[in-house]
Every structure is written in structure tokens, then in C-alpha cells.
Amino acid sequence: MLSTIQENSLRKKRNRRRNRSAAVTCCPQREGSVLKPRIVTPKKPNSARRPVAKAKLTNKKFVVAHIPGIGHNLRKHSNILVRGGGCRDLPGVRHTCVRGVLDFLGVKDKTKRRSIYGVKRPSSMVIKIRKKFRAIFGQ
């Protein structure tokens, strides 16, 4: 006969959290190729036209990834890099395409939040930063 403490421990179930971006487990990003870029509409309270791309990753998994930013150059057979974290109001979209990597270009004329949209630092900003450092450090 088992004691009550042992019975309770046998009955307990582990609450494992479901992985929200299961296709990119064990690595931060995965490479893949676009099968079909398309536009979808979000869930009930929201209304928009959000671009997504169905992609086949190098680990043979198929995912639907959100395309961030305004405008894109993705076509069928384009190579993309996919990371976890999708669009909250798009059901089934749990991944995001990384801009400025492989065939996916960055957003044009973007000056703020550039790292998200794959834009290099403009030359005018580089000159300002150099002047600032010279003034601070006296070089």
C-alpha cells in the first residue's frame, strides 16, 4: 500500500508550456525559402491587410511567417531567415521574417528603429556621431 504522499506525487502532472515558435527550437533563427507570399486579415476587433509568407525551412518544417515593415521584395523561391515571435492578431502566424538578410531587403528611408527593419546607419548620422565623440574624448 502506498502512503498518501506517494499517491499524490504519482497523480501530479507536469504543466509544460507549449513552445510558441516550435519550428525554430534549438536555434535562434532558421533559413528557408518562400513558397507563397500573400496578404491576410487579422482577428475580429482589428482590420488591416497584413503580409505573410508561407515558407519551407531547412529543417523540413512549413511555417507561416509575418513580413514586418512597409513594402517587401519577397517572391516565390526567395531565401529568407525566420525567427520566433509572430503577429498577435493573426491566428497561426508564430514566426517573423528577418529583414536585411539573404534575399529580403530592408525598409527604404527608415531612420528610427532601424535594427528591426534591416537598415544600415546613414552616412549623415555617422558624421554626427564622429563629431560627438571627438568633442567628448578630445580626439
**72-119 residue pLDDT tens:** 899 999 999 999 988 889 998 999 999 998 988 888 888 888 888 888
- What is the number of structural domains in the chain? 1
Q: What is the pTM of this model?
A: 0.75
Taking Cα atoms as reference points, which of 70, 69, 68, 74 lies closest to residue 54? 74
- Residue 3 lies inside a defined structural domain of this protein: no
Domain that holds residue 113: 17-137
- Residue 91 lies inside a defined structural domain of this protein: yes
- The rounded distance, in Å, linking the Cα atoms of 96 and 1 is 54
Local structure of residue 100 (DSSP, 8 states)? T
**Range from 26-30, 39-43, 99-103, 131-135 carrying the lowest mean pLDDT:** 131-135
- Residue 11 lies inside a defined structural domain of this protein: no
Q: What is the mean pLDDT of residues 131-139?
A: 71
What the block records as the C-alpha cell of 17 is 508550456
The CATH number covering residue 45 comes to 2.40.50.140
